[in-house]
Amino acid sequence: MSTYLADSDFELLLIERTDGVAFVTVNAPPMNVMTPPLFRELAKFGAQVAEDDSVRVVVLRSDDPDFFIAHFDVSAILEFPVEGPAEKPEKLEGFHLMCETYRTMPKVTIVEIGGRVGGGGSELSMSCDMRFGALGKTVINQMEVPIGILPGGTGTQRLPRLVGRGRAMEIVLGGVDVDAETAADWGYLNRALPPEELRPYVNELALRIAGFPPTAVALAKEAVNNADTMPLNEGLLEERYLFQRLLRTDEAEPAMRSFLEVGGQTREAEKRMGRLVTEVDWS
């Protein structure tokens, strides 16, 4: 799959673009198992959209009421080569590379988890910037250890960063189902919403972010991601550098002047800051 694919060329992903947001619906019946073809399409789309300046936010979702992505295809894992001793790779590739693409691309990546998510589907979800679930519907599970393997697609590294070491051990070693309310309390989900509110909330948030200055969004994401990989002092220095870069963009001065013009730094306007910032014109 080395050639460029148009949105309509994807067979397992339904892609709609609206105002800078790419809404990507996983459609791989009967239950969205992460088969090799689905993995390849998600990887291909991620690589392409990372370079697409017309897209500022990516939303991954499913219309299956019971499943977002079940887990990686176990029958495919059984076909993985096992001849010779295990070897440690020298660079990221395959599933790890796909997940890192969604984590590091200069776009905001949001996952709408309306049903169950497990295994590799959970690992992809954890690599994205935000995850939202439905109360009474969303369930998270890492089922690898009970079947003799481990979460090998970023899970052992992502889960502790999201929920802490002890809770990660419970999920990974216990193979337990984690409901939406618990997942939100533990930090896996940003929010657990009533099912009827999930999609409208995700849509509104995605379109809201897509309306903000894109360079500021991209560099702010980069700065936050640095907290995972840099010591604090180095991260602070990089933050200052990225801030200085943004001051020199064509977006920053118009946005700040517009903020003042629409009432920024006045008592009444500051009391409605969440709405006020949507009135800023940075163009």
Q: What share of the chain in percent tops pLDDT 90?
A: 99
**Spatial separation of the C-alpha atoms in residues 24 and 183, rounded to whole Å:** 23
What is the pLDDT, as a whole number, of residue 239? 98
Contact 127, 154 (CB under 8 A): yes
Phi (first) and psi of residue 23, to 5 degrees: -95, 120
**Spatial separation of the C-alpha atoms in residues 269 and 273, rounded to whole Å:** 7
pLDDT digit string, tens, across residues 163-183: 999 999 999 999 999 999 999
Residue 2 has pLDDT above 90, yes or no: no
pLDDT digit string, tens, across residues 261-271: 999 999 999 99
Q: Average of pLDDT values for 272-278?
A: 97
Q: What share of the chain in percent tops pLDDT 70?
A: 99
Cis omega before residue 106 (within 30°)? Answer: no
Q: Give the pLDDT band (50/70/90) at residue 7.
A: very high
**Spatial separation of the C-alpha atoms in residues 16 and 25, rounded to whole Å:** 8
pTM, full prediction: 0.96
pLDDT digit string, tens, across residues 113-168: 999 999 999 999 999 999 999 999 999 999 999 999 999 999 999 999 999 999 99
- Mode of pairing for the β-strands spanning 116-118 and 13-18: unpaired
pLDDT digit string, tens, across residues 9-29: 999 999 999 999 999 999 999
What is the pLDDT, as a whole number, of residue 1? 52
Task: Calculate the CA dihedral of residues 30, 199, 216, 266 and round it to 10 degrees.
Answer: -170
What is the pLDDT, as a whole number, of residue 3? 86
What is the pLDDT, as a whole number, of residue 233? 98
Residue 85 has pLDDT above 60, yes or no: yes
Residue type, position 205, single letter:
L
pLDDT digit string, tens, across residues 38-53: 999 999 999 999 999 9
Q: Give the pLDDT band (50/70/90) at residue 98.
A: very high
Q: Average of pLDDT values for 99-105?
A: 98
**Spatial separation of the C-alpha atoms in residues 183 and 200, rounded to whole Å:** 20
